Structure 1
Amino acid sequence: MLPEVRVFAPATVANMICGFDILGFAVEQPGDEVIMRRKQQPGVTIKEITGDDGRLPLEPSKNTVSACVQYLLQALNIASKVGVEIELHKHMPIGSGLGSSAASTVAGLFAINVMLGNPLTKEELLPFCVEGERLACGTGHADNVAPALYGGITLIRGNEPLDVVSIPSPKELVAAVVFPQVDVPTRDARQLIKDKVLLKDAVTQWGNIAGLVAALFKEDYDLISRSMKDILIEPTRAILIPQFYEMKEIALKHGALSFGISGSGPSVVAMTRDEQIAQKIADSIQAHLKENEIESFGYVSKVNIEGPRVLN
């Protein structure tokens, strides 16, 4: 067992606008870092958390990182023999719609697996990551943890049993992500979603999802643009995001292929095929938000195909 491991795990854009709870991709920045050290006494403890403004619990059973590491050790029947202490360094905002809890959980599970000599594959690690999401937000969905763990773009074909498909990422695809500093809790955002939808709207959404998946395989950017539209979830969740439609207008005016909500929001994402265009969109949206007295963070990133990585 290694004495110490440092791991970075990436933020993610869940849903990819039209694929609610089934599509997501990893970005190059931001992300979270976990430092894990072996200790003599068995058990999992958290030594320090930074970047969370004191919002995350230090109690091991209530923190997603330590709780999931403990689950894994129990599943391997070595919980009584192995002791680790954890430092969690949040380099991304909590409640941003960028998979904050998923990045932390994935970093922790990837780190303990590396420390133990990689006894589990990523496919075998994924259910433990999903349990972290259940602990964090009450729902064990994989659209953030799967891309964070696998890297690239993932499709959640089914949840029971868990069935995840990796999808090719077009080489020129670039995301401009902006996080307006407003509070949109994931649980609140999910409660707004309708239980029933019109069949004609569902058919339109299915067509968009199928078109997007086909476009990603074909690297067809025009088809990506036509398909990456959400008529089911966006109209409701946009209500919670100030200046949403103004931001959308700015993104499309500056050449975005598509624009929508990242995860449950309030982060928004514009997809482009050029980093300069993406940067211009992010800068323009942030300037507009500042004019309306809303502070924000902006990120420009290609799809991160690597996922978590060990840091030197």
Structure 2
Amino acid sequence: MTKDEIKIFCPATIANISCGFDVLGLALGTVGDVMVIRRGNSPGIRITRITGQEIPMDADKNVAGVAGMAMLKELEYQGGFEVEIHKKIKAGSGIGSSAASASGVVWGINHLLGNPCSEEQLVRFAMEGEKLASGTPHADNVAPAIYGGITLVRSSDPLDVVRIHAPAELFASVVHPQIEIKTSDSRKILRTSISLADGIRQWGNLGALIAGLFREDYDLIGRSLEDHIVEPIRSILIPGFDEIKRAAIAAGALGCGISGSGPSIFALSKGRETAVKVSESMSRVLTGIDLEHDTYVSEINTQGIRIIS
């Protein structure tokens, strides 16, 4: 590789983490896309190759192209970049497929330009790609991909991202049933208002989860992984969800919920050994209902996007 080209790993992410709808997210370390970004001979962003999925090559219709163009426009950069996207995260999986592309391209361009932009600026550019994918410029997936670890989006306008401590023994198990749920569609079924009682329960869980993470209090983390607002509605779109959640808890998980907009389901556990058992238990439920699926077990990826070569 030359200084004009970079190859990077762009991690999958879990958004919401039960009680943190649209504000909490974490990066995974064992699954993600690979992107190659190089300086181009013409202005703007040109997508030169995509493998793994059929997604638009047109930069204006691709989340990576839109995010990259937003960055170049603000920097008033007159040059251009070529982008290869090797998709390992399936679209509509609920583990940040669009976020990986959007965050990866701006991170890679920033590196090739000598890092003129802050992580917060990169999140803002990547949010433009997320807006194309889901209709809303949310940051709960792109923030952990860029910052690494666990992040809290205190505010989207103006953007304010807070790093949250990730305990070393915290592991995630993820099962991805082979059905697709588009983020834009899953948002349409949500209520536009909630009761004060539900809000209070949710705020209590969110605050306690943050405290549990910083204190490495796994019992508190487990008690706080409850979603009284979004999960009851979105879970009806996921076959076997309630049984999968019960199986995860019975196998030792601290808590279990929907990853992003679904259909992927995540569980958090203390220790890799427990996380593997939880993953196997969740997988058995899906096998029992003849639903093909992928499984992942991962530590919390505190680095986020990283250079491969």
The answer, yes or no, to whether TM exceeds 0.5 is yes
Equivalent residue, structure 2, for 1:195: 192
Letter in 1 for 2:191: K
For residues 59 and 271 of structure 2, what CA distance do their matches in structure 1 show? Answer: 43
What is the identity percentage for the equivalent residue pairs of Structure 1 and Structure 2? 47
Match of 1:275 among 272, 276, 280: 272
- What is the alpha-carbon root mean square deviation over aligned residues? 1.2
Q: Does the CA contact (< 8 Å) of 1:103 and 1:148 recur in 2?
A: yes
Does residue 1:112 correspond to 2:143, yes or no? no
Matches within 5 A, 1:40-79: 40-52=41-53, 54=54, 56-79=55-78
Equivalent residue, structure 2, for 1:285: 282
**TM-score for both structures, normalised by structure 2:** 0.97
Equivalent residue, structure 1, for 2:15: 14
Q: Offset at 1:126?
A: 1.5
Equivalent residue, structure 1, for 2:28: 27
Q: Does the CA contact (< 8 Å) of 2:255 and 2:267 recur in 1?
A: yes
Unaligned runs of at least 5 residues, structure 2: none
Letter in 2 for 1:25: L
Q: Offset at 1:144?
A: 0.5
For residues 172 and 85 of structure 1, what CA distance do their matches in structure 2 show? Answer: 39
For residues 92 and 42 of structure 1, what CA distance do their matches in structure 2 show? Answer: 29
For residues 87 and 294 of structure 1, what CA distance do their matches in structure 2 show? Answer: 32
Match of 2:231 among 230, 234, 254: 234
Letter in 2 for 1:83: G
Match of 1:224 among 221, 225, 235: 221
Does residue 1:126 correspond to 2:123, yes or no? yes
**TM-score for both structures, normalised by structure 1:** 0.96
Partner SS for 1:61 = helix
Does residue 1:151 correspond to 2:148, yes or no? yes
Q: Does the CA contact (< 8 Å) of 2:253 and 2:269 recur in 1?
A: yes
Equivalent residue, structure 1, for 2:100: 103
For residues 248 and 263 of structure 1, what CA distance do their matches in structure 2 show? Answer: 15
Does residue 1:177 correspond to 2:178, yes or no? no
Match of 1:303 among 281, 287, 300: 300
Q: Does the CA contact (< 8 Å) of 2:38 and 2:83 recur in 1?
A: yes
For residues 307 and 293 of structure 1, what CA distance do their matches in structure 2 show? Answer: 34
Higher alpha-carbon deviation: 99-108 or 287-296: 287-296
Count of aligned pairs = 308
Partner SS for 2:73 = helix
Q: Does the CA contact (< 8 Å) of 1:2 and 1:116 recur in 2?
A: no
Q: Offset at 1:94?
A: 1.0
Does residue 1:83 correspond to 2:80, yes or no? yes
Q: Offset at 1:134?
A: 0.7
CA shift digits 1:75-106 (9 cap, x unpaired) = 11123xx1321110001111011011001111
Letter in 1 for 2:75: L
Letter in 1 for 2:169: E
Q: Offset at 1:51?
A: 0.8
Letter in 1 for 2:187: R
Q: Offset at 1:43?
A: 3.0
Letter in 1 for 2:22: D
CA shift digits 1:240-292 (9 cap, x unpaired) = 00000010111011111001100000000111002111111112221221221
Unaligned runs of at least 5 residues, structure 1: none
Instruction: Write out the 4+ residue segments of structure 1 that deviate beyond 6 Å after TM superposition.
Output: none
Partner SS for 1:149 = helix
Equivalent residue, structure 1, for 2:38: 37
Letter in 1 for 2:77: I
CA shift digits 1:121-161 (9 cap, x unpaired) = 21221110111111111100110010111001111111111
Does residue 1:161 correspond to 2:158, yes or no? yes
Partner SS for 1:101 = helix
Letter in 2 for 1:33: V
